[in-house]
Amino acid sequence: MENRDIIDFRLAGLLILWSLLIITSCKKDFTPEELEYIKSIEKDRVETNDWMKNSPNSPFNFKGKVEFHPLNYFDVDPSFLFESKLYEYEEKDTVVIYGTKGEARYPVKFGYVKFNYDELDYKVTVYETTAKSGDKYYSIWFTDKTTNEESYGVGRYLNFTKVDDPENIYTIDFNLTYNPYCAYTKDYTCPIPSKDDYIDLAITAGEKKFHD
C-alpha cells in the first residue's frame, strides 16, 4: 500500500470516528420513565397506522380508496409534553374559521392552555364547537415554525377533552399532534388555523407531512 493510500485510509477512519462521536453526542439521555413514555407513543403510532390502513372508517377507505403509506412522524420527544390548567376567557367570542373548501365555521374561543419551553411562555387557544347533535366538543389546532416545511401546510390538531373541574390539570402532549383528514385526501375539509393560532416555535414533535 502506497503512503498516499495509507494517509487516505487513516483520514477515512478519522472521519468515521468523528461522525460517530457527533451522533453519540447528539443522543439524549432519557430516564426510565421517559423511555417507557417513548415506547407507549411508538406503540400508539403502530396502532394508528394499522387503523388508517385497514379500518373502513379511516380517510383512506371511507369516501373512496386512497393509496395508503405509513404516516410520518418526528422522533418522540418528552420535552414537548406539558401540563396546564384550562384558562377560560371571561368573554367567549364566536369567531369565523374557514375550512379548506372555503366554508365558514363559527367556533367559540373558549379559553387557552399555557406551556413553557426553553424559558419562553406560550399559550394555545382551545375552541368550543357545537355539533349537529347539540353536543359540545373542544379542539386545539395550530401552526408553528415547521408548518409547510416538515409538517402539514394547513396546520396540525391536538385532541382536548374538557372536564368540569376548573382546577383540573390537563396534559398537553405535542407528540400526539396529528394531521386532519384533508392532509390525506381532498374528499375532506378541515378548519384552517388562524394567524392567532400560530405558535412561534418549531414544534418538532407529532405527525409530519404525509407526502414529502
Answer yes or no: do 8 and 86 share one domain. Answer: no
Kindly state the DSSP code that residue 152 receives in the 8-state scheme.
Answer: -
Answer yes or no: do 15 and 68 share one domain. Answer: no
- Per-residue pLDDT, 212: 54
> Domain of 10?
1-30
| Residue 202, domain member (yes or no) | no
Q: Which pLDDT band holds residue 211 (cuts at 50, 70, 90)?
A: confident
Residue 14: pLDDT over 80: no
Answer yes or no: do 94 and 15 share one domain. Answer: no
What Å distances lie between residue 180 and 7, 139, 153, 191, CA to CA?
54, 12, 11, 9
Least confident of 4-18, 39-53, 59-73, 135-149: 4-18
pLDDT in tens, 76-128: 999 999 999 999 999 999 999 999 999 999 999 999 999 999 999 999 999 99
Q: What are residue 30's DSSP bridge partners?
A: none
- Which helix (H) or strand (E) element contains residue 51? helix 32-54
Which three three-digit cell numbers place residue 160? 382536548
Q: Please state the pTM of the whole predicted model.
A: 0.83
Taking CA 42 as the corner, what is the angle to CA 143 and CA 123, rounded to the nearest 5 degrees? 30
Which three three-digit cell numbers place residue 3? 503512503
Answer yes or no: do 83 and 121 share one domain. Answer: yes
Q: How many domains does the chain have?
A: 2
Which three three-digit cell numbers place residue 10? 487513516
Q: Which pLDDT band holds residue 73 (cuts at 50, 70, 90)?
A: very high
- Per-residue pLDDT, 80: 98
- Per-residue pLDDT, 54: 95
User: How many whole angstroms separate alpha carbon 162 and alpha carbon 136?
Assistant: 10
Residue 3: pLDDT over 50: no
Task: Decide: 147 and 155 in contact? Cβ < 8 Å.
Answer: yes
Answer yes or no: do 177 and 76 share one domain. Answer: yes
Answer yes or no: do 48 and 83 share one domain. Answer: yes
What Å distances lie between residue 196 and 19, 45, 54, 66, 206, CA to CA?
42, 29, 36, 33, 21
pLDDT in tens, 114-142: 999 999 999 999 999 998 898 999 999 99
| Residue 211, domain member (yes or no) | no
- Per-residue pLDDT, 11: 42
Residue 18: pLDDT over 60: no
Answer yes or no: do 10 and 51 share one domain. Answer: no
Residue 9: pLDDT over 50: no
What Å distances lie between residue 84 and 57, 78, 115, 121, 170, CA to CA?
33, 16, 7, 12, 5
Answer yes or no: do 14 and 55 share one domain. Answer: no
Answer yes or no: do 21 and 126 share one domain. Answer: no
- Per-residue pLDDT, 131: 86
- The rounded percent of the chain whose pLDDT value lies above 70 is 86
| Residue 212, domain member (yes or no) | no
Residue 181: pLDDT over 60: yes
Answer yes or no: do 116 and 63 share one domain. Answer: yes
pLDDT in tens, 151-162: 999 999 999 999
